Structure 1
Amino acid sequence: MKISIVIPAHDEAETIAQCLASIQIAIEQLPSTFTASVLVVLDSCTDDTLKIVQATGFDYLCCYYQCVGQVRDLGIRHAIAHGATWLACTDADSTVPMDWLVQQMEHLDQQRADMICGVVSINNWGHLSSQTQQAYITHYQDKMGHRHIHGANLSFSSDAYLATGGFAPLTCHEDVDLVNRFRARRYTITWSNRVRVLTSSRLQARAKEGFGAFLANLEKVSWS
């Protein structure tokens, strides 16, 4: 099996190196029967993100969509065209544990999943109120069978992706849209808390209605 990890990036110079280093470690844990590659899709970057990615030696594409759905789709289709049969998505402000890919492969072996929806853990609560932390913990279902959807931790087969039409050109919730189309076609989805990533708690969201905006709203409510 050929795995491709696809990462959209827009001005992520502060976080992209750590993200890619964690992915490299996860790749190294895979058995020799698997091959894995990394593709960063840089969208309208104006900082040093490109230079940092070039220094790692990983593959990359550049585009100017300013639309995360289009960026993800560009990267996924490029990876499929180069032989990828399993696609794993994460974000440039996230890091993955060393067993991230191994856990995915175990689910494929056990459940024959067409898609895996993983969970996220917050990397730093220090700048957020205790009320926000408690509200988040109360809301979040960190368990097998959860129903959370994160573009930062979503993986799927190439065949199912192409059959559903792929990520739509949406500036937000492109991940929810894709999962809903997998559901509509009755593909097998594994909702796993064994597959997790550590994600940024920054409140300056790249997507206006994304995860950062969700945290910012919790913080706003906690002080109101």
Structure 2
Amino acid sequence: MIGILIPAHNEEDWLDDCLCAALRAGDHPLLAGEPVEILVVLDSCTDRSAHIVSQYPVLALSIDARNVGQARALGAQQLLERGARWISCSDADSRVAEDWLVAQLGLGMDAVCGTVTVERWHESFDEATQIRYHRDYQACEGHRHIHGANLGVSAQAYVRAGGFEPLPCDEDVQLVRQLERCGASIAWSHRPQVITSARLDSRARGGFGDYLRHLAQTE
């Protein structure tokens, strides 16, 4: 079984698109019918997120941690207990490509770090900010970006590395560093595609949204 792990904290505006995309990815014909289970970890949600998730054929886990690292760790543990051989991580404000899982698994590695494409730039991000972003971002093979919105890892490598740590941000970076220390094979690839938002109300302090905000404030 392949598991898709999506943490969510008050994501009612994004979850429909996110889950529709994940379900399409899980139904790709090149997966040859292998079961795909999608788990949304609802962390301290006070909006309609839980109701939206309940309308889809996915799993839900409700916690009250307000901690994305803990949300990913608990979600990964549940997927492992349900028999996942591979865990693909994304975010609730992102949409994975239809061949996302196929692209990750096709690389034949212990883990895959993919890139993200920003969609619908917020009005606060002027043209100069967008130019700076595209100048610095390596949307290519061999990049060195780490995104929780586009990360895949085999069950064996995940367990060997010790799993996600309960960090308020950079839990994805920490896991990849642990995988490197364990000698895991890692693909830094542009093949698995994910579209993500450029929103300013980012959920994790120090995460991708804060990076974009800092970029917008840079003269």
TM-score with structure 1 setting the length: 0.95
**CA shift for structure 1 position 217:** 0.6
- 2:23 aligned partner: 24
**CA shift for structure 1 position 126:** 5.0
- 2:110 aligned partner: 114
| Alignment map for 1:75-224 (pairs within 5 Å) | 75-108=75-108, 113-125=109-121, 127=123, 128-222=125-219
TM-score with structure 2 setting the length: 0.97
3-state SS, counterpart of residue 55 of structure 2: helix
* Per-residue Cα deviation, 1:140-184 (whole angstroms, up to 9, x for no partner): 011101000000100001111111110011001011100001001
3-state SS, counterpart of residue 34 of structure 1: coil
The one-letter amino acid paired with 1:214 is Y
**CA shift for structure 1 position 29:** 1.0
Distance 1:92 1:14 in 2: 9
The one-letter amino acid paired with 2:116 is V
Mark the runs of 5 or more structure 1 residues left unpaired by the alignment.
none
Distance 1:126 1:39 in 2: 29
The one-letter amino acid paired with 1:73 is A
Distance 1:146 1:28 in 2: 28
Distance 1:96 1:169 in 2: 25
* Per-residue Cα deviation, 1:16-67 (whole angstroms, up to 9, x for no partner): 1110001111111143252211000000000000000001131100000111
Cα 1:59/1:177, change in 2 over 3 Å: same
Distance 1:148 1:126 in 2: 22
The one-letter amino acid paired with 1:130 is E
Distance 1:32 1:46 in 2: 38
| Alignment map for 1:7-18 (pairs within 5 Å) | 7-18=6-17
The one-letter amino acid paired with 2:177 is N
**CA shift for structure 1 position 68:** 0.5
3-state SS, counterpart of residue 194 of structure 1: coil
Distance 2:57 2:99 in 1: 22
Q: Percent identity?
A: 42
Distance 2:164 2:126 in 1: 34
| Alignment map for 1:50-89 (pairs within 5 Å) | 50-89=50-89
Distance 2:73 2:169 in 1: 13
**CA shift for structure 1 position 204:** 1.3
Runs of 4+ in 1 over 6 A off after TM superposition: none
Distance 2:33 2:195 in 1: 27
CA RMSD of aligned residues (A): 1.0
- 1:44 aligned partner: 44
Distance 2:186 2:76 in 1: 19
Distance 2:42 2:153 in 1: 21
Count of residue correspondences: 217
3-state SS, counterpart of residue 61 of structure 1: strand
